[in-house]
Amino acid sequence: MYQSIAPLKQGEDYALFETLEYASLGNALVVPVASIEANALAHHYPIVWRRVGDDYELVAFISLSVPHLESFRRELESGMPRPLLVEAYPLALAFPDSEDGRSVVMIDEVPRPADALASPVFLRGGALSAPASRRMGALRVFGSDIGRTR
């Protein structure tokens, strides 16, 4: 799902688009999920454990073939729940091996989707825009709960 991920730097000029304008979401077969969302998502997507190196992560199968952006768009427009990481996209969390255990907010720096209207991540005063704040909220919930599934 992520193509060119880099740390989010406050004050930089980043653009956000409607979630389903990102073509890279149409190439994702699975999305990591946190336990807090697993029950709601299990009614719509198969939820499985997958091996990642020596660890496991809980994922939702959002499709069995790519590209699937149009079918995913129709499913979400019909009211199916979005996994938290889809809701947060293009924002993500990195969990570096550091002593303080803090996560780092990342952004997937992908090319601007054709004909997509952009919203800034940061407003002039440095505060988060409304679309960025909504995505950050989903990321915060995911980040606060992901430890229970790893």
Tens of pLDDT along the chain (150 residues) come to 898 999 999 888 999 999 888 888 888 999 999 999 999 999 999 999 999 999 999 999 998 887 788 888 888 888 889 999 999 999 999 987 666 667 899 999 988 888 889 999 999 888 999 999 999 999 999 999 998 887
CA distances from 47 to 37, 62, 97, 139 (A): 11, 9, 27, 19
How far apart, in whole angstroms, are the C-alpha atoms of residue 41 and residue 101?
28
Position 60 scores a pLDDT of 95
**0.85 exceeded by pTM:** yes
Q: What angle separates helix 130-145 from helix 35-42, to the nearest 10 degrees?
A: 100
Position 5 scores a pLDDT of 93
Position 31 scores a pLDDT of 95
How far apart, in whole angstroms, are the C-alpha atoms of residue 95 and residue 143?
9
Position 54 scores a pLDDT of 93
Position 7 scores a pLDDT of 94
